[in-house]
């Protein structure tokens, strides 16, 4: 499927309107995309969803909606977007600091929800945590793409002196060094640090979102930060990165 089907159709604060680009990507006719789900023509609905389920859709748990999405029920995906579209956008915007890129990240994440719903395992955590983790990963992927694009256009033989370099350029360089160091960490450590650093989550919030004990999260972060200190050659990395409990 061509990912360029994704269009910037989510407003800065997503409304009840489910993104037309996502409907297009999952196979629905974008010209029939409604302002609200309950105004859809019957032919748009999957025949397997009964009228009774439609009336009760808003009362279903997130996990039940993911299970329906795994059975290709588009209405379940729309309901999940209604519940988490705004939160997802806010998270992506915190990471990317760019409205258009944040919108794209949210659309890509909800497409990932649609495509991978069958692999969601409720015993490993909440559906909401799973969805927001997908959003965060797409946002971080976008950051990495931007950094690679900039790196490809620059040939830096060595890190330039701070003297004579404007503040924005220095901060960009620092972010690129951090991202390069993060790529050398094990996946579990990198995920915990990225959620804390870019998403602003506390250790307790990370434990809940990742479905892991608080002690495990602390261990991952301390191990990752120790390795970051080695890679960056900067003492005090642990205290500057460590979120509150």
Residue pLDDT, tens place only, 161-217: 544 445 566 566 677 777 778 888 888 888 888 888 777 778 888 888 888 898 898
Distance CA 25, CA 210 (A): 28
> 98 or 5, which is more confident?
98
Instruction: Please say if the pLDDT value at position 122 is more than 60.
Output: yes
Query: Where exactly are the structural domains of the chain?
Result: 8-136, 163-241
CA distance readout (Å), 98 to 2, 91, 175: 23, 11, 16
What is the phi-psi region of residue 158: left when phi exceeds 0, alpha when psi lies from -120 to 50, beta otherwise? Answer: beta
CATH placement of domain 8-136: 1.10.1740.10
Q: What is the mean pLDDT of the chain?
A: 73
Distance CA 178, CA 106 (A): 24
Distance CA 9, CA 30 (A): 11
Residue 16: its pLDDT value, please?
42
Q: How confident is the model at residue 55 (pLDDT cuts 50, 70, 90)?
A: low
User: For 234-239, what is the mean pLDDT?
Assistant: 48
Instruction: Please say if the pLDDT value at position 93 is more than 80.
Output: yes
b (16+ CB within 10 A) / e for 12-34: eebeebbbbbbbbbbebeeeebe
Question: Would you say 121 and 133 are in contact if contact means Cβ atoms under 8 Å apart?
Answer: no
User: For 94-105, what is the mean pLDDT?
Assistant: 90
User: For 116-137, what is the mean pLDDT?
Assistant: 91
Domains 8-136 and 163-241 share a fold: no
> 238 or 137, which is more confident?
137
Kindly state the tokens that stand for 217: 């999260």
Instruction: Please say if the pLDDT value at position 6 is more than 90.
Output: no
Instruction: Please say if the pLDDT value at position 121 is more than 50.
Output: yes
> 214 or 157, which is more confident?
214
Distance CA 127, CA 165 (A): 45
Of the candidate CATH numbers 3.90.76.10, 3.20.20.70, 3.40.50.300, 1.10.10.10, the domain formed by 163-241 belongs to 1.10.10.10
> 230 or 136, which is more confident?
136
């Amino acid at each position: 499927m061509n990912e360029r089907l994704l269009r910037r159709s989510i407003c800065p604060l997503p409304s009840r309107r489910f993104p037309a680009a996502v409907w297009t990507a999952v196979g629905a006719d974008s010209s029939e995309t409604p302002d609200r789900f309950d105004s859809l023509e019957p032919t748009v609905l999957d025949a397997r969803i009964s009228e009774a389920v439609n009336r009760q859709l808003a009362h279903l748990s997130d996990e039940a909606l993911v299970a329906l999405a795994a059975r290709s029920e588009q209405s379940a995906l729309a309901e999940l977007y209604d519940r988490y579209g705004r939160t997802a956008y806010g998270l992506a915007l915190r990471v990317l600091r760019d409205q258009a890129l944040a919108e794209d990240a949210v659309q890509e994440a909800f497409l990932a929800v649609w495509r991978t719903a069958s692999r969601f395992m409720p015993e490993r955590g909440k559906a909401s945590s799973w969805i927001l983790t997908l959003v965060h990963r797409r946002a971080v992927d976008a950051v990495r793409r931007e950094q690679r694009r900039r790196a490809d256009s620059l040939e830096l033989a060595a890190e330039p002196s701070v003297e004579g370099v404007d503040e924005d350029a220095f901060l960009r360089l620092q972010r690129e060094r951090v991202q390069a160091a993060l790529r050398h960490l094990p996946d579990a450590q990198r995920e915990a640090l990225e959620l804390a650093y870019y998403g602003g989550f506390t250790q307790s919030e990370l434990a809940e979102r990742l479905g892991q004990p608080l002690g495990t999260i602390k261990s991952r972060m301390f191990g990752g930060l120790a390795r970051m200190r080695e890679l960056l050659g900067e003492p005090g990395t642990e205290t500057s990165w460590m979120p509150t409990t």
